Chains A and B, each alone.
Chain A
Amino acid sequence: MAIAAIEILDLEKSYLVGFWRKRPKLALRPLRLTIEEGEVFGFLGPNGAGKTTTLKLLMGLVFPTAGTARILGMDMDDPRVKAQIGFLPEQPYFYDHLTARELLNYYGQLSGIPSKERSARVEQMLARVGLSDSAGIQLRKFSKGMLQRVGLAQAILHDPKLVFLDEPMSGLDPMGRREVRDLIQQLRQEGKTVFFSTHILSDAESLCDRVAVIHQGELRGVGKVAELTSGTQGKVEIVFYANAQQVPTALTALGAESRFGGGNMVNSVLPEAQQDAALDVLRREHMKLISLTPVRRSLEEYYIQQLRPAENEEIRNQESHKQENQKNELREEASRKGVGV
């Protein structure tokens, strides 16, 4: 049986905040999530949801309050893990006294790439992220997007099996975004596992095998993108040419919501059950059918749906927490009020 690439086992993080660092602030509620080998996995959630926190926990940059994780079948603290993973931090910042080439060479040394292969590998990476021409310039003179490219190069420099990217598209121009998408596709083809956080849902939709939605430190949903977006919603969209600037009343009677496109073209959305009846109407009225497609849910709709029950669920959670530990919860609530409003 193949081992999972990442197995997050109830990883939890609360920060102590306030002047005396006494008040706990829950950044990540116990998170349980498994990412299979070879998957491209999108980690979605609004600002402050806990995406970066999760990645920092997995990288060992901050320590969990509770829980653990297994990476490539090893304990997350196992030093051997680090040789096989790559990490692009959020808004990466590097030693700005170095040139891009020197920086990658240094990271290559730290990753244990043998000196024979190192410089060729560095040049290859520089080319891959489109920095060959600026490789000899000190990083203090780099733009934000160029730094992001350096960040991507260093994340895949040592040919890791598993790559963690925290908002890989941020700060990039449209071409740059496209290049990153291509890069992630290439990584997938090479059989790598990619775990990345993003705010750009269209990117997640086109790239990911699966996504998870996290909100206020809590996992709201996980699923295959294909399944999440293929849910037909029980509706179909019919596009046809009407004979005049008027939608047949028979169609409206079937529950269709229609609007005119260009000229006499009509766009109607109606329940799937009425599909045949609607086609009959069009045939009877001699109207030309252009297309009939099931209405698919976009990832964006799924995402928003996952966030929406937030309020209700939050109240439910608060109730149960109160029963468990009233005192603790009061503190937390106070912190939420302090920060949230």
Chain B
Amino acid sequence: MNSNVTGARIGYIAFNTFREAVRDRVLYNLIAFALLLSGAAILVGEISIDIERLVVVNLGLTAVSLFGVVIAIFIGIGLVSKEIDKRTLYTVLSRPVRRWEFVVGKFFGLTGTLVVNTFFMALGVFLALVYVAHKFEPMDVWVLAALYFIVLQFFIVCALALFFSSFSTPLMSAIFTFALFVIGNLSEDLRGFARVTSGLGGAVATAIAYMVPNFSALNVISQVAHGDPVPGRLILYNTAYALLYSAMAISGAVLIFQRRNLK
């Protein structure tokens, strides 16, 4: 039972999770996304001059992010808990599958689904860009960086949903995860607030500011909408941060799940 086989099993579990999402028509959200984006592009093309690109990038990327986060939360909270409830896990865990392999496989299945989903949405955004601007510009390359950061956000959101659902109800898990997503998006402000606050309040604010996922750093949408570049250092830093943060949340989920009595 070497690492090779472990990798294969995680891959099989991930693929099955992906297939389940596809068959449960999760990718149908792309239709709504396409309608929204083309509607917006046509509207913007009609009325505005010069700010079409700004609007399309801003709106497009925000929609990519929100659609993805909603999917990440709603599937993420059920990823493992649904399998416990439905007892589909019994016949998986009675095979040579370790519990942590199962959790990690489920995680990659969902993030894989989101990557595919984001790929198609990204295509849509670029199509809309071409539609309104009639050409690609060099600065459009930074849109790719923004999309990459959005995917990193999905990793963290999936991991958090998985973590919360390992010990609380689906509803509570969804609320916790969404709350952290919102607070995480304000984490830059929170850090600023912590810096100017002293005493106990400041300490608490600092602790919270550094514990919640730093989604602000992962959000460069308005920056790239204005055509500003994304520094390579930030890409590196964000990658490491997102991987570490997700790994920690997943480890927490695994630790809890390892010792759990299945219903």
A302: CB under 8 A from chain B? no
Q: Is the CB of A87 within 8 A of B94?
A: yes
**Chain B positions 54-106 with a Cβ under 8 Å from a chain A Cβ:** 86-98
Q: Is the CB of B90 within 8 A of A61?
A: yes
A62 to B91, CA, bound (A): 14
Which of B1-9, B41-49, B113-121 touches A? Answer: B1-9
B91 contacts which of A15, A83, A107, A109 (Cβ < 8 Å)? Answer: A107
A213 to B89, CA, bound (A): 28
A94 nearest CB neighbor, chain B only: B88
Q: Is the CB of B90 within 8 A of A87?
A: yes
A244: CB under 8 A from chain B? no
A158 to B96, CA, bound (A): 11
Given contacts A56-B262, A109-B8, contact A97 B93 (CB under 8 A): no
**Complex interface: chain A residues within 8 A of B92 (CB):** 107, 110
**Complex interface: chain A residues within 8 A of B13 (CB):** 110
B131: CB under 8 A from chain A? no
A93 to B82, CA, bound (A): 12
Most buried by A among B8, B87, B94: B94
**Complex interface: chain A residues within 8 A of B19 (CB):** 97-98
Q: Is the CB of A93 within 8 A of B93?
A: no
A110 to B8, CA, bound (A): 8
A93 contacts which of B8, B87, B98 (Cβ < 8 Å)? Answer: B87
B135: CB under 8 A from chain A? no
B189: CB under 8 A from chain A? no
Q: Is the CB of A111 within 8 A of B86?
A: no
A56 nearest CB neighbor, chain B only: B262
Given contacts A79-B96, A112-B96, contact A62 B262 (CB under 8 A): yes
Q: Is the CB of A112 within 8 A of B5?
A: yes
A93 to B85, CA, bound (A): 10
A97 to B21, CA, bound (A): 9
**Complex interface: chain A residues within 8 A of B8 (CB):** 109
Most buried by A among B9, B20, B96, B259: B96
**Complex interface: chain B residues within 8 A of A110 (CB):** 9, 12-13, 92, 95-97
B90 nearest CB neighbor, chain A only: A89
B16: CB under 8 A from chain A? yes
**Complex interface: chain B residues within 8 A of A112 (CB):** 5, 96
Q: Is the CB of A83 within 8 A of B94?
A: no
Q: Is the CB of A111 within 8 A of B20?
A: no
A95 to B91, CA, bound (A): 10
Given contacts A59-B90, A87-B90, contact A107 B259 (CB under 8 A): no
A262 → B minimal CB distance (Å): 52
A82: CB under 8 A from chain B? yes
A80 nearest CB neighbor, chain B only: B1
Q: Is the CB of A107 within 8 A of B16?
A: no
**Chain B positions 141-190 with a Cβ under 8 Å from a chain A Cβ:** none
A111 nearest CB neighbor, chain B only: B95
Given contacts A82-B96, A85-B94, A97-B24, contact A63 B5 (CB under 8 A): no
A80 to B23, CA, bound (A): 33
A89 nearest CB neighbor, chain B only: B90
Most buried by B among A60, A95, A164: A95
Contact pattern, B 234-263, Cβ under 8 Å of A = 1, otherwise 0: 000000000000000000000000010110
A63 to B259, CA, bound (A): 8
**Complex interface: chain B residues within 8 A of A63 (CB):** 259, 261
Chain B residues engaging chain A, CB cutoff 8 angstroms: 1, 5, 8-9, 12-13, 16, 19-20, 23-24, 86-98, 259, 261-262
The 10 sampled A-B contact pairs (Cβ below 8 Å) are A61-B94, A61-B261, A63-B259, A79-B98, A94-B91, A98-B16, A106-B16, A109-B12, A110-B9, A151-B91
> Which 5 residue pairs of A and B lie closest in terms of their CB atoms, listed nearest first?
A87-B94, A62-B261, A97-B23, A89-B90, A82-B96
Q: Could you list 4 further interchain pairs (A-B, Cβ under 8 angstroms) beyond the known A79-B98, A89-B94, A110-B9?
A: A87-B90, A92-B91, A110-B92, A112-B96
